[in-house]
Amino acid sequence: MLYLGEIASLFTAMCWSTNAVLFAKAGRRVGSSTVNVIRIGMALLVMVLLHLALVGSVFPVAAGWVRFAWLGVSGLIGFALGDGLLFEAYVLLGPRLTVLIFTTWPVFAALMAWGMLGQTMGLPKVCAMVVTLGGIALVVLEKSKALPGQARPRRFTLGLMLALGGAAGQAVGFIFSKFGMAGGFSPISANLIRVAAGALALWTWQILRGELAPNCRKLKDGHAAMLICYGALFGPVIGVVLSLYAINHAHYLGVASTLMSLSPVMILPFAVFVEKERVGAWAIVGTVVSICGAAAMFLI
């Protein structure tokens, strides 16, 4: 079927928007550090069970060292380093500016795909990509008006560099994943290797800082544990498996990554109908613009 990769990218954005809502709710109860370290553990457990059920083994030990290298580094960058930079950027810049800067990651992905994979998008698709990202930016900027304390942060430059580092890390992680899955390697096996590498790095860091045990004890909050569990299912498990399938089957990595970035737009219905937030005109305009840009990517 034509556009299977692009369709998977849209479903990825849906999963990531659901994941964001669930983790935000859990974070308000037990803290973002706890959510970060526990969600990777839950994701690893689910991926092991999924791999056992669908592939027939607990871990893809026969993948080969080359795949392990590409996918392991991808997991370290994506789940550990990249997320660490973003969480620190949240502290310095706040969520609005961080999310806005992070939406540039498809640009990094497109440039890397051009430089490392030889993927060159035509001008119409580049324009559609810019339109889509512009619409997403309008949505994020509009949401900022309802948030207090959004004056220019004192450590703006450092926060900007960290957020851009997180965006670049996301792009590098996907490029490395594409190399690791060369030859038709299973996205499920690929994600298990990535999650295992990310979990190892995060747990090692938490142990060295003496934070792992205190974070695990916070799972006594049953509601938070349930939210993290569902968030891990939609994010690091289903969402990432879909994203890996997408980058392996989409015609252009830049298009796939742009479609994945639509999650801030997809969160809007939840914000309106569940959280009862007021959505301004610019958010509506941004939604329409981003949807038109995404549709154009399929049509041109």
Look at 6-10, 179-183, 197-201, 295-299 and tell me which has the smallest mean pLDDT. 295-299
Residues 6+ away with beta carbon under 8 Å from 258: 106, 129, 132, 133, 293, 294, 297
Across the range 225-232, mean pLDDT stands at: 95
Task: Give the residue with greater pLDDT, 92 vs 105.
Answer: 105
222, amino acid identity: G
CB 220 within 8 A of CB 77: no
CB 265 within 8 A of CB 132: no
Look up residue 295 and give its two tokens. Answer: 């549709």
Look up residue 296 and give its two tokens. Answer: 């154009």
Query: Euclidean distance between the first and final Cα of the chain, in Å?
Result: 17
Q: pLDDT digit string (tens) for 38-68? A: 999 999 999 999 999 999 999 999 999 999 9
pLDDT at 126 over 50: yes
Is the sign of the CA dihedral 7, 11, 17, 19 positive or negative? negative
Across the range 139-158, mean pLDDT stands at: 61
Mean pLDDT value across the chain: 89
Q: Where are the domains of the chain?
A: 4-299
Across the range 162-186, mean pLDDT stands at: 93
Angstrom distance (rounded) from CA 269 to CA 207: 39
CB 197 within 8 A of CB 79: yes
Binned at pLDDT 50, 70 and 90, residue 147 comes out as very low
Angstrom distance (rounded) from CA 165 to CA 169: 6
Binned at pLDDT 50, 70 and 90, residue 79 comes out as confident
Across the range 102-110, mean pLDDT stands at: 90
